[in-house]
Amino acid sequence: MKKRIAVFASGFGSNLQALIDYNNKYGLNGDIVLVFSNNKDAFALVRAKKNNIKAVFMDPTRYSSREKYDSKIIEMLEEEKIDLVVLAGYMLLLSQEFVHRFKNKILNIHPALLPSFKGT
């Protein structure tokens, strides 16, 4: 059975597009079923919609704490039955609760060596 994949992105979504293109050409052992962003202006959300992928924005400033924000995200991912979370330019740190809940199910795409070049 194919994995249900959620991609988290905060900006332009070039890594998301690379994943979509690869999947369209070669196929993945999964389907990108959700793109999530903490930035309402993220072009990644537009890319998702253009490819018939559910696009979700949640504003972290509308929650009283990061834990409550991440709990709401976890709830959404569980409703969508997500098997793998891909961080593709997601610019927020994940809470301990989130990392624990998706232990061994998170893949971070980062353009530089961490922690030496974080934020690049």
3-state secondary structure of 40: coil
Active-site pick, 3, 66, 105, 110: 110
100 is catalytic: no
Report the chain's terminal Cα–Cα distance, integer Å.
36
- Count how many Cα atoms sit within 13 Å of the Cα of residue 91 in the half-sphere of its side chain: 12
Q: Which residues contact 27 (CB under 8 A, 6 or more apart)?
A: none
Q: Are 19 and 10 in contact (CB under 8 A)?
A: no
As beta bridge partners, residue 57 has: 37
- Active site positions, annotated: 110
